Structure 1
Amino acid sequence: MQLLARGQVAKMITQLTDASVEYSLPVGEEAVPMNALIGRSLRVVYRGAINCVACGKSTKKSYSQGYCYRCAMTLPQCDSCIMSPEKCHYHAGTCRDSSWGERFCFQDHYVYLANSSGIKIGITRGNQIPTRWMDQGAVQAKPVARIRNRLMSGKVEDMFKAVLPDKTNWRNMLKGDAEPLDLDQLWREAKDQLQGEIAALVEKVEAEVATKRAAHPDFNAIEFSSEIEWLDDSETVTIAYPVEQYPSKVTSRSLDSELEDRHRELFEGVMQRHLAELALDKKTEKAVLKLFTSTLKKGLKKTRSHKPAIEALSAVIKKEPLLAALDSATIAGEFADVLAQAGELNGVVEGVLQGIKGQYLILDSGVINMRKFTAYHIELYGE
């Protein structure tokens, strides 16, 4: 296969052209056009390197889709209110970075209906339309309200969760396009059900913000607007995705899991060799290997070294008296040696690209969510 790009990966860039989505994948300095690769074999190789998208430091694990632990715990864009905007605490004076909050949270936000795996309600910033809908794999979308800040838009969305779902079933979304829905009718019905709650919500949120500001007189909070501009007559946007074949069964592929599996295979080989020397009955040997593997998998998610194998060995020796004859110190040394001799291990996801939807590459070997691996360093190969 030919090397197409090498470097740090980011979520796919989308462009809606004549109701169809065009994808490109940023990898290092390249933006690889992905639609042209459909029908061809792809290979994604991950060698274990991740660099935080904020501070650039190396991190063993990615948090909040691309951040190191420190940045995830301190940056405003990683705060819990980003996922739950109705919990915005700017006016309480506790925003992680009030200047960032003023730029990000006090701009036009839209409440919308979308049809990805069925109807759902959501919110997004104005500059993320229609990107947000394409990232979710929506085949239809309709903005229903424009609001001048994130808190109020989150409160409105939260209220409508009483009558509308707010989640996408990603597995169903990847099995095919959702049946078309009458978003106008669904919106009218939902709004009619909550007419009384809408007026009460505005008063309640205004009172909450006033109370928070009164409790923090030294905080120079930006002015808050509870105004809701309803967009009942907005047009429904239809979106088509470049998919040649949808999977009948959705199997998720992970770069982390693939790399962990390479480590697991090495350590299992050592363990199996020593168990064979004990001549255990098949039932006992199977139970021991099952416990060893399950314990090992949990450990490898925390650190890719020989230490999880040593911990797994200790667990099975404690569980099965017949393993007391094993020389645990010698085996621990072999775990370290086999890993050192293996050299660089890679996590590899490959297959024929059958389509792209949302942020997922649909391969004949499974699906991989590229957004999940933002900040990972990869090599992308194609035929």
Structure 2
Amino acid sequence: MCKAHLGISRDMEWSEKNCLQDHFVYLALTPGIKVGVTRKSQVPVRWIDQGAWEAIKLAVTPNRYIAGTIEVELKKHLPDKTNWRNMLTGLKYPDIDLHHEKEKVLELLPQEMQQYASRDDRIYSFAYPVNEYPAKVSTLNFDKDKTVEGILCGIKGQYLIFEGGIVLNIRKYGGYLVDLYY
């Protein structure tokens, strides 16, 4: 875990911009509920990248270390990963009430972490430009498939969704040179 809050860092300038900033611990529906951490400056970008359809702030902390400590505590009860395959099929659990879940989850925190509970109960909602969600997904791999053809059906999170349930994680291929033709 980050130790910049103790003055320990290989690059304190970087740590000041990234670790020693306000962070949020949040709950997101991606499609099931998950816990996560993001810098204040990354809201709502982080949630959109994960393909969340709803998110709520759970805690506000002055640095990455405290946010990470809260997340580690909550990972005992909630997942911290997005099930990307379910997310890309458009699966949702509409019965999940984030206000209610926030109350329940905050009760799980040890007393010393309660001080960071967020008073902001706003639910952030997101919609994605997807014509049709596939029932099943398979991934494209630019390292194996040099030429890829297909009709783009949507974008969700960091994924492009093509006809036939073929998906491409665009973050995975940062730095690749791609030619698009239409």
Amino acid at match of 1:118: G
For 1:233 and 1:184, locate their aligned partners in 2 and report how far apart those are by CA, in whole Å: 10
Mapping 1:207-356, distance limit 5 Å: 228-258=115-145, 347-356=146-155
Q: Which has the higher helix share?
A: 1
Aligned to 1:162: 76
Amino acid at match of 1:111: V
Deviation at 1:117, TM superposition (A): 2.1
Deviation at 1:356, TM superposition (A): 0.8
For 1:168 and 1:143, locate their aligned partners in 2 and report how far apart those are by CA, in whole Å: 17
Q: Could you list the per-position Cα deviations for residues 47-98 of structure 1 after superposition, in whole angstroms to 9, with x for gaps in the alignment?
A: xxxxxxxxxxxxxxxxxxxxxxxxxxxxxxxxxxxxxxxx1133373x2312
State the TM-score, normalized to the length of structure 1: 0.45
Q: Could you list the per-position Cα deviations for residues 289-332 of structure 1 after superposition, in whole angstroms to 9, with x for gaps in the alignment?
A: xxxxxxxxxxxxxxxxxxxxxxxxxxxxxxxxxxxxxxxxxxxx
Amino acid at match of 2:49: D
Residues 103, 147 of structure 1: CA spacing in aligned structure 2 closer, same or farther, 3 A cutoff? same
Residue 52 of structure 2: SS of its match in structure 1? coil
Aligned to 2:178: 378
Residue 381 of structure 1: SS of its match in structure 2? coil
Deviation at 1:228, TM superposition (A): 4.4
Residue 152 of structure 1: SS of its match in structure 2? helix
Deviates more, 1:174-183 or 1:114-123: 174-183
Q: Which runs of 5+ in 1 are unaligned?
A: 1-86, 203-226, 259-346
Residue 361 of structure 1: SS of its match in structure 2? strand
Mapping 1:103-114, distance limit 5 Å: 103-114=17-28
Residue 73 of structure 2: SS of its match in structure 1? helix
For 1:149 and 1:92, locate their aligned partners in 2 and report how far apart those are by CA, in whole Å: 12
For 2:84 and 2:115, locate their aligned partners in 1 and report how far apart those are by CA, in whole Å: 30
For 1:238 and 1:92, locate their aligned partners in 2 and report how far apart those are by CA, in whole Å: 37
State the TM-score, normalized to the length of structure 2: 0.92
Decide whether the 8 Å contact of 1:254 with 1:349 is kept in 2.
no
For 1:348 and 1:97, locate their aligned partners in 2 and report how far apart those are by CA, in whole Å: 41
Residue 65 of structure 2: SS of its match in structure 1? helix
For 2:135 and 2:71, locate their aligned partners in 1 and report how far apart those are by CA, in whole Å: 33
Aligned to 1:124: 38
Mapping 1:49-68, distance limit 5 Å: none
Ranges of 4+ aligned residues in structure 1 off by more than 3 Å: none
1:358 correspondence with 2:165: no
The alignment-based identity, stated in percent, is 44
Residues 116, 249 of structure 1: CA spacing in aligned structure 2 closer, same or farther, 3 A cutoff? same
Residue 229 of structure 1: SS of its match in structure 2? coil
- Higher RCO, 1 or 2 (CA under 8 Å, sep at least 6)? 1
Amino acid at match of 1:355: G
Residue 151 of structure 2: SS of its match in structure 1? strand
Deviation at 1:164, TM superposition (A): 1.5
CA RMSD of aligned residues (A): 1.7
- Give the counterpart of 2:15 among 101, 111, 133: 101
Q: How many residues align?
A: 179
Computing the radius of gyration from Cα coordinates, the structure with the larger value is 1
Aligned to 1:269: none
For 2:91 and 2:136, locate their aligned partners in 1 and report how far apart those are by CA, in whole Å: 15
